[in-house]
Chains A and B, each alone.
Chain A
Amino acid sequence: MNYLIRVVAVYALVFTIGCAHQINITPPLNTLDADGISKIDKNVGYYISAEDLTKEVTTPGGGGDKIKYFPYKESEPALNKILSNIFVKVYPLASADDSQFILSNDISYVFIPKIETNSSSKSAFTWPPTNFTVSLDCKALDSSGSVIWQKSVQGEGEAEFSEFKHDFPLAAKRAVKKAFSMLQEEIIKSGVF
């Protein structure tokens, strides 16, 4: 009987201690659509530091577990997509002030995002988050390096079990999608570019 108790205890331990589950928060890029956008005839770049690209964060999931992900690396495709929706050509930059690269590629503006995320869950039994928020602060520099535009947006995503069982990071992907869709809208309506 002791054996059975030991087996149950091990299972209980495995399922109750908090783990950090790796997720990927990149939304499907088709959801960041370009419908109705007339492209601006300019080339732009964006800069995310190497340090940010490798930055992994851990935030709460459900049932005492946590989730971990790379907010910059996994949001980069979304940033690239919305800029490509708006401008003719988009370049990732290795440095924000690489004037030679900026000049040689006729880059008019450089976008620099700052991303903060958080998550939570209403569920005690499942680890994927049911709520996820993305605070996105983005500034644009002109070719001389001056800040010509800056905007903050916040995307929030929610997902219930019946939905996220087919896509565990669904709440996170919805939040990232929302934040970058809002950013796209802000860039378009700013009239600065």
Chain B
Amino acid sequence: MKVRIRILCSFIFVLLLMSGCANPYKVRQVPFSEPTSPNPDETLIYVFRENSSFGGARKFAIICNDTVRGVLTPGTFCNFKVRSGENEIVAYMSPSPLMHYRVQDRPGKTAYLFCKVGFTTGMFMEEIDEHKAVELMQEFKYTEIEVKNQKAKMNYKDYYDNLYK
């Protein structure tokens, strides 16, 4: 009886850790090559996800306003260009957004965002400097999605605007 319970508990534990989610965006790790500089009317945004085992089995969809721009697992990063202006960047873990950061109007510039994912060390998105970002690019894996520009459930820019009204 004891052995059966142990096996059952271990099985459930392993299942919880290993079970993958559906991957509708076809995310893949590819070698990183530096993108071209943003045009004067664009902003280049990098998003890194902390290499933490907490919530590690769940993927993040990285949404810019209302469009899915990347998918991250622990220790990975993505980048994308957006039209300059206010852009709401959201880390979405089904069924809802988990953290967000509003990138202000930054024409021709680059913003580096870091998703902290920890039970006590924090669960929020923050901006990091270029120096730190370059270090992370050496350490983290770069990901891309095949299914690009998929629309999210809603426009999260409006959603977070309402949350702070």
Q: Which residues of A contact B (CB under 8 A)?
A: 1, 3-4, 7, 19-24, 26-31, 163, 165-170, 173-174, 177
Contact = CB atoms under 8 A, between A and B. Distances in A.
Contacts of B102: 28-30
Contacts of B86: 30
B5 A4 contact: yes
A29 B163 contact: no
Top 9 nearest A-B pairs by Cβ distance?
Answer: A22-B122, A28-B102, A31-B164, A24-B124, A19-B120, A166-B97, A22-B121, A30-B102, A21-B120
Contact of A27 (B6, B96, B104, B164): B164
Band of interface residues on B: 20 to 34
B100 A22 contact: no
A122 to B, nearest CB: 19
Contact of B164 (A4, A7, A20, A177): A177
Interface string B108-150: 0000000010111111101000000000000000000000000
B82 interface: no
B152 interface: no
Interface of B: 1-2, 5-6, 9, 86, 96-102, 104, 116, 118-124, 126, 159-161, 163-164
A84 B99 CA distance: 27
Given A22-B122, A173-B164, A1 B97 contact: no
Contacts of B100: 28, 166-167
Contacts of B96: 165-166
Contacts of A23: 122, 124
B161 to A, nearest CB: 8
Nearest to A74: B126
29 contacts: A1-B1, A3-B5, A3-B6, A3-B9, A4-B5, A7-B9, A19-B119, A20-B120, A22-B116, A22-B120, A23-B122, A24-B124, A24-B126, A28-B102, A28-B160, A29-B102, A29-B104, A163-B163, A166-B96, A166-B98, A166-B100, A166-B160, A166-B163, A167-B100, A167-B160, A168-B123, A170-B163, A173-B164, A177-B164
